[in-house]
Amino acid sequence: MSHTAHIRSHRKPRRSASKIAMRAGVAGGVLGTLAVAGASGAANAAEPVTQTLELPTLTADLGTQIAESADATQQAAANYQLQAERDAAAAKAAKQAKADLAEAKQKAEAKKKAAQEAARQEAAERATRSSERTTLSASVGSDTATSTSTATGSAAAVVSFVKSQVGKPYVLGASGSSAYDCSSLVQAAFKQVGISLPRVSQDQSTAGTQVSLSNLQPGDILYWGSAGSAYHVAVYVGDGMFVGAQNPSTGVAEKPLSYDPPTGAVRVL
């Protein structure tokens, strides 16, 4: 026998395949159980983590809602402010319109009163002129025989000139020699004898000595209206007649005093 025959071998004895398979199955079962348990434990452990992860989402949604609510509140405030401004502007405009209307009514009333007063004055002046003309017509009819009918000297030249212009047209503002207005005809007539008269009828009605209509002489200046504010003038030519640039329809014409009785007369010759 060898001296090594009783020495135990250091190599582990071989295990049988059946034992190995059994142990592997047990181990697999245990591992499977552990895996299931681990998975279950992991699932149970994951739930708090999932809830914790959802908190930011809920917080973001809440923040969005709060922001939207703030925007809506701000927009509502802006709308209220805008409406308040519009209401204030409308009230101001209504107040201004009321004031303007009141002012317009006052102006209209003032104009109405002024027009009524002007109409009253015009009616009074017409009545006065009518009365004066009636009186003048009567005086002219009774006193014409006493007035001088024959012009001499400078008066004759004035009468001759105005009679020579009869038939020429009346043009307001014209100064001759093809057309005249009332005062330019009188001015041109007296210019023939070296007398310079004012251009307008208002001034011509005070250019000489006031004379009575019952004591007229050829060459006297007749005027219509008040002395100093006359609106028409002509030249008395004798025999109850006068020559004047009357209006656009008649032009320069010779008419009887009764055609349009004058208000007064002045003598410059």
How confident is the model over 158-184, as pLDDT tens digits?
999 999 999 999 999 999 899 999 999
Cβ atoms of 225 and 205 within 8 Å: the answer is yes
Question: Does the pTM exceed 0.75?
Answer: no
| pLDDT confidence tier of residue 13, bands split at 50, 70 and 90 | low
Q: What is the CATH number of domain 147-267?
A: 3.90.1720.10
- Using a 10 angstrom Cβ sphere, with 0-12 exposed, 13-18 middle and 19 or more buried, the burial of residue 44 is exposed
Q: Tell me what pLDDT residue 54 has.
A: 53
Say how far apart CA 115 and CA 104 lie, in whole Å.
16
Other Cβ atoms closer than 10 A to 190 = 24
- Residues of the chain with pLDDT > 70, as a percent, come to 68
pLDDT per residue as tens digits for the range 79-105: 888 898 888 888 888 889 888 888 888
Nearest to 156 by CA among 236, 253, 245: 236
Q: Tell me what pLDDT residue 211 has.
A: 97
Q: Tell me what pLDDT residue 123 has.
A: 72
Cα 260 to the center of its chain, rounded Å: 46
Say how far apart CA 129 and CA 224 lie, in whole Å.
9
List the end-to-end C-alpha distance of the chain, in Å, as a whole number: 201
Beta bridge partners of 211: 265
b/e for 143-182, b at 16 or more Cβ within 10 A?
ebeebbeebeebbbbbbebbeebeebebbeebebeebbbb
Q: Tell me what pLDDT residue 131 has.
A: 57
Average pLDDT value over all residues in the chain? 79
Cβ atoms of 232 and 161 within 8 Å: the answer is no
